[in-house]
Amino acid sequence: MPQDHDLKWLLDRTAADIASEYQRIQARVKEDPGTAGDQGEENWAEVLRKYLPANYHVRTKGRIVTSNGLASRQIDVLVLSPSYPVGLLDTKTYVAAGVLAAFECKITLRPKHIDTTMKTVAELGDLIQADQFMDHPIICGLLAHSHAFANKKAAPGVLVTRALDAAFNKYVKYPDQYLDLLCVSDLGMWVAERTVKAKSDDDYVVTVHYYQTTRTQIAPVARFITNLMIKLEASDPALKTIGQYFARAVPSGVQVARSATRHWHYPEDPTRL
């Protein structure tokens, strides 16, 4: 993408805003961690409001409720479909069929946050699978301003990938339970890639792995927005054109790490493909 491309300038400014907010929030995080966390969530909610279509609804702090009355843990930021009932927008319990994406947010990412978020996502996958009215997956992500991954023997990005692998192996039993996106604004972007290959009419192999790109000339925040748009195309075809534009304008960057590949054979439980 040309260096003077307007989109790159706008996305870089968004990334700089996240970095500035990190410094501001960190200055008072010890005084009031709860308020600091709320501010961090609102930062990411504003990023989503800025780049997603205007008819999407972005809300903070809510639970997802299935048609059979089961509720998720509280989620930090939720993206609701354009068709979501207006009268239900501020109830803090959101109808699962109208939720397109759910994100946990952290000011400073630590290994325990990846573990607890993967657990939350796996539990959400179980809830959604039991809801017969769901016709789309909920995209799940973990968003962080910065990180506290430090080790003299390995780079921070490698440590994040290892933490993702460990949490995946610990909690994910089916290929509808994993974290789709992980963005650390000043470090990198991790994206889950899933493929389904038919071996025969009644036998499929599902493969999932994560790939990571580093913070090069394209900020991780820019890659997060692009990958979210691409994943949202499955439930909203209207996003296809703009998503493809972003993907063309924001190169994927250098792939520096890829987790081990996991396979599932079906029809072990074909409802969970």
Measured on CA atoms in the order 70, 139, 63, 88, is the torsion positive or negative? Answer: negative
Examine residue 1 and state whether it is found in any structural domain, yes or no: no
Task: Please give the angle made by the CA atoms of 143, 134 and 259, to the nearest 5 degrees.
Answer: 40
pLDDT score at 14: 93
Residue-by-residue pLDDT tens, the chain, 273 positions: 445 567 878 888 999 999 999 999 988 888 888 899 999 999 999 999 999 999 999 999 999 999 989 999 999 999 999 999 999 999 999 999 999 999 999 999 999 999 999 999 999 999 988 887 777 789 999 999 999 998 878 889 889 999 999 999 899 888 888 899 999 999 999 998 887 777 766 677 778 888 887 656 778 998 899 899 989 988 888 888 888 888 888 765 555 656 666 767 665 555 555
pTM: 0.91
pLDDT score at 131: 80
Examine residue 66 and state whether it is found in any structural domain, yes or no: yes
User: Residue 164: CA atoms inside 13 Å, Cβ hemisphere, count?
Assistant: 29
How many CB atoms within 10 Å of residue 252? 14
C-alpha 236/C-alpha 56 separation (Å) is: 11
* Sole residue written with tokens 């999407």: 56
C-alpha 73/C-alpha 172 separation (Å) is: 17
206 phi, psi to nearest 5 deg:
-105, 130
Examine residue 164 and state whether it is found in any structural domain, yes or no: yes
Strand 188-200 to strand 139-147: parallel, antiparallel, or no bridges (unpaired)?
unpaired
SS3 sequence of the chain: CCCCCHHHHHHHHHHHHHHHHHHHHHCCCCCCHHHHHHHHHHHHHHHHHHHCCCCCEEEEEEEEECCCCCECCCEEEEEECCCCCHHHCCCCEEEHHHEEEEEEEEEEECHHHHHHHHHHHHHHHHHHHCCCCCCCCCEEEEEEEEECCCCCCCCHHHHHHHHHHHHHHHHCCCCCCCCCEEEECCCEEEEEEEEEEEEECCEEEEEEEEEEEECCCCCHHHHHHHHHHHHHCCCCHHHHHHHHHHHHHCCCCCEEEECCCEEEEECCCHHHC
Examine residue 186 and state whether it is found in any structural domain, yes or no: yes
- The amino acid occupying position 112 is K
Examine residue 247 and state whether it is found in any structural domain, yes or no: yes
The total of structural domains in the chain comes to: 1
pLDDT score at 1: 42
Examine residue 256 and state whether it is found in any structural domain, yes or no: yes
Examine residue 98 and state whether it is found in any structural domain, yes or no: yes
Examine residue 121 and state whether it is found in any structural domain, yes or no: yes
Question: What domain range is 50 assigned to?
Answer: 6-272
